[in-house]
Amino acid sequence: MTRRYGERWQVSSDRPLVKGIDSEIFRAVDTRGEYEGEYALKHVLHPLRQERFHRELDSVLALRHPNVMALVDASAFTHAGGSPDNQFLVMPFAEGGDLGHGRRAEFYKESLDYTLQLARQMASALQAAHDSGVIHRDLKPNNVLFMGLGHEVWLSDFGICLIREPARLDDPEYAGQGEFLAPELEGGRQLDVPPAADVYSLGKVLYYLYSGGVTVVGNSIEPSKYSAVLQQDKRRKLLSALLRQMICPLENRLKAMPEVVDQLLAIQNSQ
């Protein structure tokens, strides 16, 4: 007998589709019939800071944007005293997988137009979240989910880092993923953060996208294997200049997402 969560979400198998240190993801259906089709159920293992996440949950649930993955059911977190063994979130199922899976990023290698197409979706989603007072804090390729086989994406896991162990950069489970975290957040030492933390992470995701899966190590794109590629023409030089304002120490970084959105639009329209 497969497990049922929240007395309504029946998982298709006790074996998760994805299992990590801090969570496991199952396919699930709603036995009450309110929601049709399959959904993704994320069971959060050993959740921390439940009270803190609860304070942000209303804002996360209220986010309405075509590129923000909505939470279908977060009732297990509606009060901080819930059993840690039964803490879960339910989201739409991303049929196209995530940007960090396999060789997905290779499709976008050195394709400026496709990179900009995804970049504008992600930046717009983050701007809407920031306008609602929600900072992602943990943007990385695994949190960029493809709705289907095309190039439409959702950003997932807004605020979920509040209920997880801080990423351990020396752990194989986080190899490469921790490099997307803004340096001021490393070790989980700062929870109240400005939008600039997401600016940094988005910059690294954009570089990962354009380079076909290469992760920038450190707070600068120089020296970089792909620096020369970003100098080929005017539009790529503009992208390189933008990335330098995103992947850098906090004091030199762009502070708000509208600045990023405006520059992405300028690159898109540049000849």
How much is the pLDDT for 141?
95
Residue range(s) of every CATH 1.10.510.10 domain in the chain? 104-269
d(CA 249, CA 88): 35
Q: Residue length, the chain?
A: 271
**pLDDT per residue rounded down to tens, the chain (271 residues):** 678 888 899 998 888 888 877 778 999 999 999 999 999 998 877 666 556 566 667 777 788 899 999 888 887 776 545 565 577 889 999 999 999 988 899 999 989 999 999 999 999 999 999 998 888 988 999 999 999 989 999 999 887 666 555 544 444 444 445 789 898 887 655 667 899 999 999 999 999 999 899 888 888 877 666 566 677 788 988 999 999 999 999 999 999 999 999 999 999 998 7
How much is the pLDDT for 176?
45
> Out of 137, 164, 235, 236, which one is annotated catalytic?
137
Residue 139 and residue 121 in contact, taking contact as beta carbons nearer than 8 Å:
no
Q: What is the DSSP string of the chain?
A: ---EETTTEEES-SS-SEE-SSEEEEEEEETTSSS-S-EEEEEESS---HHHHHHHHHHHHH---TTBPPPSB-GGGSSTTS-GGG-EEEEE--TT-BTTSTTGGGGGTT-HHHHHHHHHHHHHHHHHHHHTT-------GGGEEESSSSS-EEE--TTGGGGSPPP-TTSGGGTTTGGGS-GGGGGG---S--THHHHHHHHHHHHHHHTTSPPPPSS-S-S-TTTTGGGSSHHHHHHHHHHHHHSS-GGGS--SHHHHHHHHHHHHH--
Residue range(s) of every CATH 3.30.200.20 domain in the chain? 4-92
Tokens standing for residue 264: 């992405």
**Between β-strands 39-44 and 88-92, what pairing exists: parallel, antiparallel or unpaired?**
antiparallel
Supply the pTM of this predicted model: 0.87
Q: Is there a catalytic annotation at residue 137?
A: yes
In the chain the first and final C-alpha atoms are separated, in Å, by: 60
Residue 14 and residue 6 in contact, taking contact as beta carbons nearer than 8 Å:
no
d(CA 188, CA 22): 14
d(CA 180, CA 138): 8
User: Is 4-92 assigned to CATH 3.30.200.20?
Assistant: yes
Topology given in CATH for the domain delimited by 104-269 = Transferase(Phosphotransferase); domain 1 (1.10.510)
